[in-house]
Amino acid sequence: MNVLFVASEMAPFAKTGGLADVVAALPAYLHRAGHDVRVVLPLYDKVDTSKATFTAILEFPVDLGAHRYGCKIFRTDVGGGFPIYFVHCPALYARGSLYTSEGDEHRRFLCLQFAALMIATKLGFSPDVVHCHDWQASLIPMILKTLAKSDPVFARSRSLLTIHNLMYQGSFPVGIGPDTNLGSVAHLFHQDLMRAGRVNFLLQGILYADGVSTVSPTYAKEIQGEKYGGGLDGYLRARSTTVVGILNGVDYGEWSPDHDKHLAHHYNPFDLSGKERDKEHLLTSLGLPYHPNVPVLGVVSRLVGQKGFKLFDPVMFELLRKHGFQLVVLGSGEPGLEAMFATLQRQFPRQVCFYNGFKNDLAHMIEAGADMFVMPSVYEPCGLNQLYSLRYGTVPIVHKTGGLADTVTQWNPRSGDGTGFAFEHHDEAGLRWAIEAALATYKQPKHWHRLMQNGMAQDFSWDAQGKLYELVYGRLVAAGRH
């Protein structure tokens, strides 16, 4: 199959979260499986162009209503594999960050979408599936059914919209309408919403994509209910037969303790001695004392409301005092949460280290060096860090929601089954219970060893998950023939 990916992030070029990991690993899987897959991304000024050879291949303007943007397209091939096309348009993408709250945010990603389709047309690349990721690519299904309908390149193209996080919807004032170039088919925009003065890009994708997917089976169900539906649950329910949940896979080439290039010591399920030395290395490099029997809890996360760290105040303060464990936190985000972690560090200088920032090598070191990994997310579409934790023998402590519920099973000391600790209710008592249960189990080395082994034996590779996407693509293409 010919597959065109359109997305706003791809590791290692541009990353703020899990989307980037998926857009790197899934095309790589599809390429290995013999498909002709190509990815289109913005060339943000943050992209490190020294990581690969960038070749200019096309140049064209993109018109968005009354605005004209000169775009130059650069192609690069990662590891001799599939092509990535970068849309170079400094007027839109030289902003110092991937996302902004500026007045032209909608145009930044409309330009990406129109440029992606123009690249396909100009290269004569006829996609069987256009795989659109999040609101930044979610008008493409509608464009394919309208403006691009008579373009022979897209004659057999079907669209799949993958929602990585339903809470980011691309909702704009209706006044941006002319910039979408879709004025002639304005009746296809959600009319009640327009009357209320808004245009919602993600909703348009949900309405017009041939298929809709999200990144775990539980989240696929959750977003069809009011609690997690972000106001779009009714539309998702209406299309429930086309909404599927496919867990993200892990790129074990990058994330595996037996060959992780960011680790000082390697280890595997049969010889865990390297993990203990990674723990010592992690703590000493962060200026914390190392004691072999004191458990270390790790956190690597965007510090935003979704991730549930509000519960840490007061639970983490109490438990650090009561149990004397250590906590290593890597993340940045909302000032209130950053301040809370800074306070934790100040109050417990020998127990807590808060590294405020985004640092990939430290993320790997925490996965290896910590004993437990905490993810108290309010909701979590899939979550990658718990999957990394499992592979690194770092026991996840999670709120039972979305992808966390699908990938972490509660430890059962009687049967010896389970891979972590999962609390059901997102409240202080839930988090306290889960951390204390983990700490108690840590004191029983035989049980703890079994728990680590159970986690390390899990397989969330893309070889399994990629096949599920191939099935979805196949179904979409077959349905298009009728």
Applying CB under 6 A, the residues found at the interface with ligand ADP are: 17-18, 21, 300-302, 330-332, 358-360, 363, 382-385
Q: Which of 248, 349, 341 is nearest to 303 (CA)?
A: 341
Which is nearer to ligand ADP, 21 or 128 (by Cβ)?
A: 21
Which is nearer to ligand ADP, 74 or 379 (by Cβ)?
A: 379
- φ/ψ of 371, rounded to 5, equals -90, -30
Tokens representing residue 144 in the block? 């394919």
Which is nearer to ligand ADP, 23 or 209 (by Cβ)?
A: 23
Which is nearer to ligand ADP, 231 or 333 (by Cβ)?
A: 333
Residue whose C-beta lies closest to ligand ADP: 18
Q: Identity (one letter) of the amino acid at 436?
A: E
Which is nearer to ligand ADP, 295 or 403 (by Cβ)?
A: 403
Tokens representing residue 99 in the block? 């996302």
* Whole-angstrom distance, CA of residue 72 vs CA of residue 374: 43
Residues contacting residue 52 through CB under 8 Å, at least 6 positions apart: 76, 77, 78
What is the smallest separation between the CB atom of 257 and ligand ADP, expressed in angstroms?
15
Which is nearer to ligand ADP, 171 or 306 (by Cβ)?
A: 306
User: What dihedral angle (degrees, nearest 10) is formed by the CA atoms of 259, 262, 268, 271?
Assistant: 120
* Whole-angstrom distance, CA of residue 118 vs CA of residue 175: 25
Q: Give yes or no for a contact between 86 and 46, defined as CB atoms under 8 angstroms apart.
A: no
What is the smallest separation between the CB atom of 245 and ligand ADP, expressed in angstroms?
14
- φ/ψ of 255, rounded to 5, equals -120, 80
Which is nearer to ligand ADP, 39 or 117 (by Cβ)?
A: 39
What is the smallest separation between the CB atom of 333 and ligand ADP, expressed in angstroms?
9
First to last CA, the chain: 18
136-to-8, 67, 305 alpha-carbon distances in Å: 6, 18, 22
* Degrees to nearest 5, angle at CA 123 with 161 and 142: 30
What is the smallest separation between the CB atom of 34 and ligand ADP, expressed in angstroms?
27
* Whole-angstrom distance, CA of residue 16 vs CA of residue 8: 10
Beta bridge partners of 14: 10
Helix or strand run (H / E) with residue 108:
helix 105-123
Which is nearer to ligand ADP, 317 or 358 (by Cβ)?
A: 358
What is the smallest separation between the CB atom of 60 and ligand ADP, expressed in angstroms?
32
Longest dimension (CA), the chain: 68
Which is nearer to ligand ADP, 128 or 251 (by Cβ)?
A: 251
What is the smallest separation between the CB atom of 8 and ligand ADP, expressed in angstroms?
12
What is the smallest separation between the CB atom of 260 and ligand ADP, expressed in angstroms?
12
Can you tell me which residue has the tokens 């979550």? 383
Q: Give yes or no for a contact between 223 and 177, defined as CB atoms under 8 angstroms apart.
A: no
What is the smallest separation between the CB atom of 16 and ligand ADP, expressed in angstroms?
7
E strands present in 371-448: 372-375, 395-399, 421-423
Tokens representing residue 41 in the block? 């991304």
Helix or strand run (H / E) with residue 282:
helix 273-285
Tokens representing residue 330 in the block? 């890597």
What is the smallest separation between the CB atom of 104 and ligand ADP, expressed in angstroms?
25
Which is nearer to ligand ADP, 76 or 301 (by Cβ)?
A: 301
Residue 86 zone, left/alpha/beta (φ > 0; ψ -120 to 50; rest): beta
Which is nearer to ligand ADP, 379 or 411 (by Cβ)?
A: 379
What is the smallest separation between the CB atom of 177 and ligand ADP, expressed in angstroms?
30
What is the smallest separation between the CB atom of 36 and ligand ADP, expressed in angstroms?
27
